[in-house]
Chain A
Amino acid sequence: MELGDVVVKDTDGRDVRLAEVWREKPAVVVFVRHYG
């Protein structure tokens, strides 16, 4: 499985495939340790 194939959630719980996130322009993707 590639990173772009991973399905994550938006803040309303909707599925988002990561490849869609950077499909149109380069994306800086910051992965935080946790919330808080």
Chain B
Amino acid sequence: MRPHAEEFQQGGGKLVVVGNGWPAMAKSWARHVGFPQAVEVLTDPSRKAYDLAGFKRSRLLTLLNPRSVARWVRALLRGFRQGRTAGDAWQQGGALVVLPSGEVSYRYVSLGPGDHPGPAALLEALGKARRISALR
């Protein structure tokens, strides 16, 4: 996602990344990833936003999803090693596109590690959101 971060601003929106650890974890992670200034990094230690957004929290989804295992093996083969986990290991993520009115125009609920929409899908959803906003 990081190489595409500025495209969201150029597309008339903004990219916000929310995690679920403590602020110090978020700060350290954001520095490690090297997000540009345009990206807002926030954290939701209570995971209240995750719950309200409909994102799942499950050990089964995390551990036993065959797609998760396949993605993990592929990542390992490419030389990726996950660092120490900071945050809630069982919490699944997802993505939303939210209009200024608060209406959610796009929602993607992740079903396991590695299950997330690509930048192209998110940029397309942002374009639709801009068009909806312009009509109102």
Q: Are A28 and B15 in contact (CB under 8 A)?
A: yes
Kindly state whether residue B41 has any CB partner on chain A within 8 Å.
yes
Number of interface residues of B (CB under 8 A): 63
Which chain A residues lie closer than 8 Å to B94 at the CB level?
Answer: 31
> When A9-B23, A32-B19, A33-B92 are in contact, do A26 and B44 touch as well, CB less than 8 Å?
no
Residue of A nearest to B110 (CB): A33
Which chain B residues lie closer than 8 Å to A24 at the CB level?
Answer: 100
Which chain A residues lie closer than 8 Å to B52 at the CB level?
Answer: 1-3, 6
Interface residues of B (CB under 8 A from A): 1, 8, 12-21, 23-30, 40-45, 48-50, 52-53, 55, 62, 82-89, 91-100, 102, 104-105, 110, 113, 116, 122, 125-126, 129-130, 133
Interface residues of A (CB under 8 A from B): 1-4, 6, 8-13, 16, 18-19, 21-36
